[in-house]
Structure 1
Amino acid sequence: MCIHALKWANKLRRGRETMVLSRRAILLSGVALGIAAAAAGKAQAAGFAEWEAGLKGKPAREIRILAISHPASDAMKALTPEFEAATGIKVTWEIVGSGEIMSKQLLAQTARDTSYDVYMVRGTALAEYEAKRMLSDLGDLLKDKAATPDDYDFEDIHVAYRQGIGTAKGKTLGIPVAGETFFLSYRKDLFEKYGRKAPDTMDELLETARFFQNKEPGLYGISMRAETGRTLALSWELFTPAFGANVIDQKTWDVTVDSPKTQQSLEYLLALLSNAPPDIETYSWDAAVSAFASGKTAMWFDATSLQPWLTDATKSKIVGKVGYVAPPSGPKGRFGPVGGWSLGLPANSRNKEAGWAFIAWMTSKQKAKEVVAKGGVPSRLSTLSSPEFTAQDPELAKAIKDSLDAAGNLLAIGRNWVPQTPEANKIQQTAGFYAGQALLKKLSPKEALAAAKPELEQISARIKKSL
C-alpha cells in the first residue's frame, strides 16, 4: 500500500500547492477500520440501509465520474461493484492526471457537455469553480432526507475539510475525500541526544533550528518548501496568520503586504530558512522531504501525507527516529493549512440525483470507513478518533488531529491558506517572487514588500471589481 502511494506521489508536479497525498499519510489503522462501521449502532445502520434500499427500487441509471489517479479514488473504485449492486446505479470511471483535470472540467463546462455526473475537484480551487458556476450547491441535498441518509452527519467531517476544501462563497460545493494538512516532524534521536524538546511555539522553532544548524557535520536545522515563486508564498502563509499579518486581506481584499506585521512575518520566515540547507531556495516538496529523510536536517515542516517517506527504508535513513507535533503557535495563535480533493456535482449533469447518491454513499459514516480501510484518507472525526486509528501510532495520530484543529483555527478567523478568489495564483506568484528576492538577498524584506505592493494592488482592483 505504501509503495503504491509513494509511486503515485512521485508523479505530482513540483511546486504546486496541492500537498502530495498517499495511502499511509494518515492511515495507520490497516484493514481493521473496514469492520468498525458495526460499532455505529443498529439505529444508525438502519437509517443507511433504508436509504440504500430506496435507491435500489428506482429505475436503472448510469453515471460517469471524472477523477484523478489517487489512493482515494482507487479505494472508491474498489467499492464501486458493491455500490452498483446495492443501488442499481452503474458507474463508469474516467481517470486523468491531477494537472489536467480542471482544464478538462472547464472544457466540459464551456461546451455544455453533460457526460459527467461526479467530479473530483481540487479543494483550494473551489472559488474558481464557483465563479464559473461549474458545480452544483450541495446544501439542499444534504438537508433532503430523501436524498441523504438520516445518519449521514455532515458535521462529523472535520471542519477544516468541510470549510477548507468543500466550501466557497458560503456554498457547499464538495464533500472532502482526500484532505491533508501540515505538521512538524523532528529527529527524536537527535533531540534526545542533546536534551531538546519538540518546539511548541514559533520562537522555540526558530531557536531549535538555530541550535541544530551545523551542530554536527552536514546537519542543518530545518527543511521545508522554499522554491522561489508560488511555493515560497505558500510557505510564507504558514506563518502570516500567527503574526496577524496578511499579504492581501481576504475579507476586504485590501493590500496589506507592506504592513509592519507582514514584514515581521517575512523576516521570521527568512530567519528560519537561514537555518536550512544552503540551496533551500530550490526546494519544492520532494527536495524538502528528501533532505529530512536522508538525515540532512533535524526538522521538517510539511504535509502530513508525505509521512510514509519517513517509514520507507528505501527512501529514508531515519526510520523509527521521527516524532510529530502540530504547527507551532505564534503571537496570535496556532494555525495551519488544509488542501486536497473533494467530490462535487457538475452543474451540467443530467443525473444529479444518482451522482449525489454515489457521493453520499461513499462518504457516509458506514462506507467512509471502508474507503479508508482500502487505502483512502479519513475525513471524519469518528474515524480520526477511533481506537483503530489512534492505537497504531498515538503520537502521529495526535499530531494529525491537532494539525487539523490548527487548520480549523485559520478558517475560524475567515482566512484560507489559498485565498478564495480566481486570482489566488497571481497573488501567490507575485508575493512569492518578491519574497524570493529577499531570500536571495537581492532586496531587503522592506524593499521586497514595497516592490510587491503595486502589482498586488492591480490584482486587488480586479478582485474588487468582480465582486
Structure 2
Amino acid sequence: MKALKKGWLTGMAALVTSALMITSCGGGGATETTPTGGRESFQGTNLRVLLKEGYEIQAIQQFKGEFEEATGIKVDLEVYDEPTARQKLVLDSTSGTGTYDITSGSFWNMPEFVSAQWLEPLDEYVSKAKDDWLVMDDIPKGALESMTIDGKLYALPHTIIGGMFFYRADVFQELGIQPPQTTDEILAAAKVIKERRPDLIPFSARGASTFASLGTEIGWSYGYDALLFDKDGNPQANSSEMKKAMADFVTLMKDYGPSDAATLTFTQAGEKFSSGQAAMMFDTSGFGTIFEDAKQSQVAGKIGYTLPTGPSGKKLQWLYNEGLAITAKSKNKNAAWLFLQWRMSRDTTMKELTQLNRTDVPNLNVLQSKEYSDYMASKGLEEFSAALQESWEGTTAEHWPFYPEFTSIGDTFTKEISAAIAGSKSVDDALETAQSELTTIMKNAGHLK
C-alpha cells in the first residue's frame, strides 16, 4: 500500500502545478456493454446518484433537468452529509446491490474505494465514448492525476480546494485590528473580539468527531511543522509540535468558539460565519463562493481573506479534491458516463459561475475566460480572486495521510480533539490516546511491523 500512497503524493504534487497554471491565466472490470452510443441511446434509463452535501453539487441540483431533456434519462439524487454518504456507498457496494450508479469521490476516500473495487475505471470511456460535452484539456491535469490510482482514472474532478482564513473586515476595521497573518495574531484577535464585541462569536471551524474535520486539524497543525504521520507511516500524534498546534486550536474553539464548537460540521461552521454570528473562520477556499453570495450570506461584501502561517513559518493548509465516479456495480454505466461528461461540460460549468456564483469552478476554459474576469470585477471580488489563486499556489499534500484506512484514521483523531474542545479531556491526554489508537490501526493494516 506504500506504493499507492507514493502515487497519490505524486498526483497531488501535480495538482499544485496545475493550480499554478490556473492562476497564471478498481473497478468492476468490463462494462455491461461497449461504452458507445449517442445522447439519445439511453432514453428511459433511470440513474440514481449518491452525493455528499456541498456547494459543488448545486449545479447538478439546479440544472439536471437540462440533462434529462437532452438525453431522456431520469436522474434521482440523494444527498447526505459526508459520513452518511460514505456509509450508503459502503453498504451498497459490499452487498453487491448496485443501487447507486454515480457517487461522490472525495480524494481522501479514493484509496479505500479503489482498493475495495467499488469504482469503475474511466479510461476506456474516455478513449471510446467521449461526448462533445467533455473536453479533457479543460480539466486541470493535476486534478485528474489526483483521481488516478495505479495509472487508472476513477473520477472526473469537480472541486479543487486550498485553505483560507476568513474574517469580518468591517469588524476588524471597527476594532482597529489588523488582518491576522499568523496563528498568534488569530488568537490575539479572538481575545479582542470577545472583550469588545461580546455579541459575536470570535472564531468558527470544524470540530465534529468525524473524518471530515481532519483537514481542519492537520491543516492547522501543518503551520506548526506537525505531521500526523512520518514518511514510514508511524503516527506522531503526541509530538511536541502537535501538542502546541492542538493546544492553540482547542483554545480557539473552546474559549472563543460557539457553544456547540465540539460538534460543528463544515456546513454548520460555515453557517456561523455566513449568518454574521462569527467574526473569523478557518476552512477551505471554497467557502468564499458562499460567503460572497448575497443570496446565501449576510456578510457578502464585508469579508477579508488571509493565508496565515504558524510558528514554523509554513502556511495553514486545507487540501481537498472531489470528483464524480461510476460505481462498479452500476447496471447503467454508459448512461452514468454521459452524466459525468455533462456535469463537467463548458456550458454547465459556465452556468455555475454566471447563475450560481461559483467562483472556483475547476474548468480552465471558464477560469481563463473574459466572462470570469469580468464577473469577478463586477462583483468586487478581486481580493478574493487573488487570495484564491495564492491558496492554490501554496497547496501541498505533505501532511495528508493517503491510506485506505483514512476514515478510521480521521475518526480516531478528530474524536479525541472534539473531546478536548468539549472539555472532557486535556489536549495532551487526547493526543496520547490518539497516538495509541492510530498505532494500532496502522499495525493492523500492515503498514507497520
TM-score normalised by length of structure 1: 0.70
Q: What amino acid sits opposite 1:398 in the alignment?
A: A
Aligned: 1:281 with 2:265: no
1:310 positional shift? 6.8
Query: How many angstroms apart in 2 are the aligned matches of 1:439 and 1:101?
Result: 26
1:451 positional shift? 2.7
Matching residue within 49, 55, 80 for 2:67: 80
TM-score normalised by length of structure 2: 0.73
Q: Is the 8 A contact 2:203 2:281 kept in 1?
A: yes
Aligned: 1:403 with 2:387: no
Matches within 5 A, 1:412-451: 413=398, 415-416=399-400, 419-440=401-422, 443-451=425-433
Corresponding residue of 1:11: none
Aligned: 1:186 with 2:186: no
| Paired residue secondary structure (2:196) | coil
Cα RMSD of the aligned pairs, angstroms, is 3.9
Q: Deviations over 1:229-258 (max 9, x none)?
A: 656644312212222322234x53211112
Matches within 5 A, 1:299-378: 299-303=280-284, 304-305=286-287, 308=290, 312=294, 316=298, 318=299, 320=301, 322-330=302-310, 331=312, 333-339=314-320, 341-349=322-330, 352-365=333-346, 367-370=348-351, 372-373=353-354, 375=356, 378=361
Q: Deviations over 1:16-35 (max 9, x none)?
A: xxxxxxxxxxxxxxxxxxxx
Matches within 5 A, 1:30-69: 56=38, 64-68=46-50
Aligned length: 397
Corresponding residue of 2:440: 458
Matches within 5 A, 1:371-390: 372-373=353-354, 375=356, 378-385=361-368, 386-390=372-376
The unaligned stretches of length 5 or more in structure 2 are 1-35, 52-56
Note closer, same or farther for the CA distance 1:62–1:108 as it changes in structure 2 (3 Å cut). farther
Q: What amino acid sits opposite 1:387 in the alignment?
A: S
Query: How many angstroms apart in 1 are the aligned matches of 2:271 and 2:214?
Result: 21
The unaligned stretches of length 5 or more in structure 1 are 1-53, 85-89
Matching residue within 78, 91, 98 for 2:73: 91
Note closer, same or farther for the CA distance 1:125–1:154 as it changes in structure 2 (3 Å cut). farther
Corresponding residue of 1:19: none
Corresponding residue of 1:135: 119
Query: How many angstroms apart in 2 are the aligned matches of 1:97 and 1:355?
Result: 17
Q: Percent identity?
A: 20
